[in-house]
Amino acid sequence: MTTHPHAAAGSCPVQHGTSSAPPSGPTPIYGDAFSRDPHATYRMLRAHAPIMPVEIAPGVYGYLAVTYRSALHLLRNTPARFAKDPRHWADLAAGRVPADSPALMMMQPRDNALWKDGAEHARLRRAITYSLGRVDTFALASTVAGIADQLIDGFASVGECDLIAQYADPLPMLTAIDMFGCAPDLAGRIIHAVTRLFDAGSDAAQANDELEAACLDLTHIKRARPGRDVTSSLIAAGLSDAEMIQTILLLIGAAAPPSSNHIGNGLRRYLTDPRFAGSVHDGVRPVAEALDEVLWDNPPLSNYSPLYPIGEQYFEGVYLTPGYPILVSFAAANGDPLLAVAPEARTGNRGHLAFSAGAHACPAPDIARTISETAMERLLDRRPGLSLAVAEDELRNRPGTFHAGLMSLPVYFQPAARLAQH
């Protein structure tokens, strides 16, 4: 049986003999109900088919791959059978995607490697890997520690703080800004715009325009005065101004909000799971294990990597309508019960899809790990004895389709003066 994102009520891509009725139409993967418990939605969809019709944002339709096998099939067959180029998106070409849709800001065509196929993708990706390959990860860890100390000093004497707003959110963004050689005023513009863009709110289009303008200003500054930074390396790799704008946007967007989510989710694990009780020195398990675990069961970028079938495609009996985007659910794929990776076997196991796979896999996972691990270790070293200030069930996830993180993580701790006395 075939399916279409606008399928009639009661239709289903394939019959699996499940006792529950299939969804009556495309399932929303946005809104309060989804944000409260996205894994409940993934389980429901997975019970009916490996790839299911969804509503990505209001009025924006496509599919979601919710099993590990389907996710790998899509990622490993790009671009041979599935394209990244959004010009394959039928509703976008026909003008049926709302101009103010938050999904449009995250899925529209851009002149960077993420949205290209073939030779153009290879050329732009080479520029990225060259530029990121010049980053000294030892120096990066020192930079992260210095930024962490500044942020911790800002709340150390108070005895309480929100670890998302005051630590996990600003730290990766400030680190990325440093890597790109931004001056403080320009950094502030980029930070503000990226945060709003990833929140996928009603002002996402305006945030996108502001971010592109800031990236162009940074490009002009570095063309005139190059330095030892990622922006200057991208320029040296031969990118045009249009490519520079979108590549800077891509790299800062890939480095900052997902790392913020990773740090926040890792801190939550450390604060609420007794296996990780203790300080960074005497904890039952090290920081790296907590961060590995959340890459498996709560990856910071939960649903992304939109792909488009090239011609008619089937997967395990599901017909994939050409012209409609298929999002890969990294969160659902990692949690697929058929994957059969026990929780205790996930530490150090890089089989997860948190960094994607195939031709468009993350080009610098070690940089992401350095930022997250250094940030957590520095905080737990300087502020031992952190305790959650609310019940765990009061914590709320960020809204939106694409990324998975906490709205806030309020904690108590001994203020700096009292800690020094001990």
| Cα–Cα distance, 197 to 208 (Å, whole number) | 6
Is the pLDDT score of 419 beyond 80?
A: no
412: part of which helix (H) or strand (E)? strand 410-412
pLDDT(11) > 70: no
8 Å CB contact between 325 and 56:
yes
In angstroms, what CA-CA distances link 391 with 158, 225, 265, 273? 21, 51, 16, 13
Q: What is the phi-psi region of residue 356: left when phi exceeds 0, alpha when psi lies from -120 to 50, beta otherwise?
A: left
User: At residue 237, does pLDDT exceed 80?
Assistant: yes
Q: Model confidence over 91-103: pLDDT tens digits?
A: 999 999 998 898 9
Among 2-6, 93-97, 330-334, 373-377, which stretch is predicted with the lowest mean pLDDT?
A: 2-6
Residues forming a β-bridge with 412: 160, 387
Q: Is residue 417 over pLDDT 90?
A: no
Q: According to the model, what pLDDT value does residue 5 have?
A: 53
11 φ/ψ sector (left φ>0, alpha ψ -120 to 50, else beta):
beta
Q: What is the mean pLDDT of the chain?
A: 89
Q: Answer yes or no: is pLDDT of 16 > 50.
A: no
Question: What are 394's two structure tokens?
Answer: 């009061």
User: Which pair of structure tokens corresponds to residue 97?
Assistant: 């995607």
Percentage of the chain with pLDDT > 70?
A: 90
204-208, 293-297, 380-384: the lowest-pLDDT one: 204-208
Q: How far apart are CA 317 and CA 121, in angstroms?
A: 31
Closest CA to 166 of 142, 147, 187, 146: 147
Domains and CATH numbers, the chain: 27-421 (1.10.630.10)
* DSSP code per residue over 268-319: HHHHH-GGG-S-TTT-SS-HHHHHHHHHHHS-SB-EEEEEEESSSEEETTEE
The predicted-structure confidence for 280-327, as pLDDT tens digits, reads as follows 455 567 888 889 999 998 999 999 999 999 999 999 999 999 999 999
> What SS3 class is residue 410?
strand
Per-residue confidence band for 191, with pLDDT thresholds at 50, 70 and 90: confident
Q: Average the pLDDT over 24-44 and give the result.
A: 93
**DSSP letter at 165?**
I
Q: Which amino acid is it at 383? A: R
Q: How far apart are CA 302 and CA 401, in angstroms?
A: 8
Mapping DSSP to helix (H, G, I), strand (E, B) and coil, where does residue 383 land?
coil
Task: Specify the DSSP class assigned to residue 126.
Answer: H
First to last CA, the chain: 69
By three-state DSSP, how is residue 238 classified?
coil
Joined tokens for residue 43: 């389980």
Lowest-pLDDT range of 6-15, 55-64, 177-186, 371-380: 6-15
